[in-house]
């Protein structure tokens, strides 16, 4: 099967969408990873994840051909996916262990080695719980999963009285420093797509009474070759993508085309990414007719919410639910990322509830977005919200209220896959083999 791929290199995450070259409506797979300083690696990892996802799509299609009814098919695929991810996690954990042992041998001694082995042993023992049915994970990125487990074990270990002095054991900072060095090697090594057969077979073997059709579907998916014929890159870091200039498209064009492909009646697009916000107007073909972007400051973008999450020691996905618990939202006049921590600490010291502060912050962010929308041409029906912040329910709720108040009833489209909109647009440009439309503004 021939495919094309779109890569969206954002400031915080890199996304890939793989499309069937024969049918642009057929999305084979999607992949996402943390962005990093090595953009070649970020693209490679995101593409590997998308191809992994494509293999699962092929398994699902094979189960459908075998006559497995949809509900049973979904259950089998969900369990297969959990077991696969557990196998992948364990393989990455083993690689992390090898790297950390090498670092300890080069830079430290027996005390650090003993502490490390204790941490690694408890991490291996706790791996199953991360992928148990119904388990809630703050992230699916290995760095985040392993990092939270490692940090918790390191804290527990160094709290023990025998480990609190330099004579008896390594300090917390030493153990965390080891992890920070070691994780780079692991997260820069794609796993999953290249080892799909190994992990998939192990996952099937671990299932209790799996459907015979599932084994056949996995084998059939493995037998189907996937050949890339074209690629296009976009995103905040597109200028540093390892692609030829002819393979690069602007974020504006890709988000406009991607939103149109997801929701064909789209006329206005709002994308709030990690580093910038874009308000885009498109025509009936998804071609951009006008747009507005924020300046280079990250105020009012996902990066700002990330700083707030860090200050509150929360995961990014926890901000929205907390904001929804507000009783008396405060008025926030500034969303300056540089002073985010200081302003937050000051308001907390004044006795304001963090829920009320967060609600005010979400409103301030969306007010900035509404200003961009107004300058781009307003909110036309239908209106599509894309980017990572579109998954924040508090932001969505505020946006719906502001749009209704300023423009009346509008159809607002939000997809669970909104973060992939730019990559989808890039993949569509790759498939069509065209340059940016002449009618579209340079962005």
State yes or no: pLDDT of 274 exceeds 70.
Answer: yes
What residue segments make up the domains of the chain, in order of their start? 1-67+211-263+422-443, 86-187, 265-414
State yes or no: pLDDT of 41 exceeds 50.
Answer: yes
**Contact present, 345 and 311 (Cβ < 8 Å):** yes
pLDDT in the model for residue 34:
82
Domain 1-67+211-263+422-443 matches domain 265-414 at the CATH topology level:
yes
pLDDT in the model for residue 357:
87
Say how far apart CA 218 and CA 290 lie, in whole Å.
46
Mean pLDDT for 267-283 is 91
Say how far apart CA 184 and CA 226 lie, in whole Å.
29
Per-residue model confidence as pLDDT tens digits over 177-208: 999 999 887 877 766 556 888 899 899 989 88
Say how far apart CA 123 and CA 160 lie, in whole Å.
18
**From start to end of 262-382, where are the E strands?**
268-272, 277-282, 288-293
pLDDT in the model for residue 346:
80
182 exposure class (CB count in 10 Å sphere: 0-12, 13-18, 19+)? buried
Q: Which CATH class is domain 1-67+211-263+422-443?
A: alpha beta
**DSSP type of residue 81:** H
The bridge status of strand 288-293 relative to strand 383-386 is: unpaired
Per-residue model confidence as pLDDT tens digits over 372-428: 999 999 999 999 999 888 989 999 999 999 999 999 999 999 999 999 999 999 999
pLDDT in the model for residue 341:
67
Mean pLDDT for 219-240 is 88
**Which of 404, 368, 375 has the alpha carbon at shortest distance from 389?**
368
Say how far apart CA 359 and CA 348 lie, in whole Å.
14
Quote the pTM value: 0.83
CATH of domain 265-414: 3.30.420.40
160 against 237, higher pLDDT: 237
pLDDT in the model for residue 436:
43
Per-residue model confidence as pLDDT tens digits over 87-128: 999 999 999 999 999 999 998 989 899 999 999 999 999 999
State yes or no: pLDDT of 443 exceeds 70.
Answer: no
Say how far apart CA 396 and CA 263 lie, in whole Å.
17
**Contact present, 9 and 233 (Cβ < 8 Å):** yes
353 exposure class (CB count in 10 Å sphere: 0-12, 13-18, 19+)? middle
């Amino acid at each position: 099967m021939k495919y094309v791929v779109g890569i969206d290199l954002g400031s915080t995450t890199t996304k890939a969408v793989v499309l069937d070259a024969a049918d642009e409506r057929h999305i084979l797979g999607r992949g996402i990873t943390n962005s990093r300083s090595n953009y070649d690696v970020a693209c490679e990892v995101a593409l590997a994840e998308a191809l992994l996802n494509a293999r699962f799509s092929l398994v699902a299609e094979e189960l459908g051909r075998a006559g497995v009814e949809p509900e049973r098919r979904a259950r089998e695929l969900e369990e297969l996916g959990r077991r696969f991810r557990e196998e992948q996690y364990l393989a990455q954990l083993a690689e992390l262990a090898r790297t950390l042992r090498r670092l300890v041998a080069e830079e430290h001694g027996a005390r650090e080695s003993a502490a490390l082995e204790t941490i690694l042993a408890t991490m291996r023992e706790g791996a199953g719980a991360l992928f148990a049915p119904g388990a809630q994970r703050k992230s699916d990125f290995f760095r985040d999963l392993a990092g939270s487990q490692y940090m918790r074990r390191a804290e527990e270990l160094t709290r023990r009285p025998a480990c609190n002095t330099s004579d008896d054991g390594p300090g917390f900072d030493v153990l965390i420093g080891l992890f920070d060095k070691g994780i780079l090697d692991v997260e820069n090594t794609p796993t999953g797509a290249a080892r799909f057969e190994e992990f998939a077979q192990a996952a099937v073997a671990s299932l209790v009474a799996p459907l015979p059709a599932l084994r056949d579907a996995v084998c059939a998916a493995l037998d189907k070759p996937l050949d890339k014929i074209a690629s296009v890159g976009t995103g905040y870091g597109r200028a540093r993508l390892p692609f030829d200039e002819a393979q690069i498209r602007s974020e504006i064009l890709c988000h406009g085309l991607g939103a149109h492909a997801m929701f064909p009646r789209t006329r206005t697009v709002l994308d709030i990414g990690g580093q910038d916000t874009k308000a885009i107007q498109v025509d009936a073909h998804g071609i951009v007719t006008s747009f507005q972007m924020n300046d280079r400051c990250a105020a009012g973008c996902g990066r700002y919410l990330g700083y707030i999450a860090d200050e509150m020691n929360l995961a990014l996905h926890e901000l929205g639910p907390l904001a929804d618990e507000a009783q008396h939202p405060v008025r926030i006049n500034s969303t300056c990322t540089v002073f985010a921590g200081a302003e937050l600490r000051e308001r907390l010291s004044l006795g304001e509830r963090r829920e009320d502060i967060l609600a005010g912050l979400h409103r301030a962010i969306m007010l900035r977005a509404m200003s961009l929308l107004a300058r781009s041409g307003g909110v036309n029906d239908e209106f599509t919200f894309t980017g990572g912040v579109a998954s924040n329910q508090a932001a969505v709720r505020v946006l719906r209220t502001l749009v209704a108040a300023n423009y009346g009833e509008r159809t607002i489209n939000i997809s669970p896959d909104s973060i992939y909109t730019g990559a989808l647009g890039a993949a569509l440009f790759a498939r069509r083999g065209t340059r940016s439309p002449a009618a579209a503004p340079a962005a």
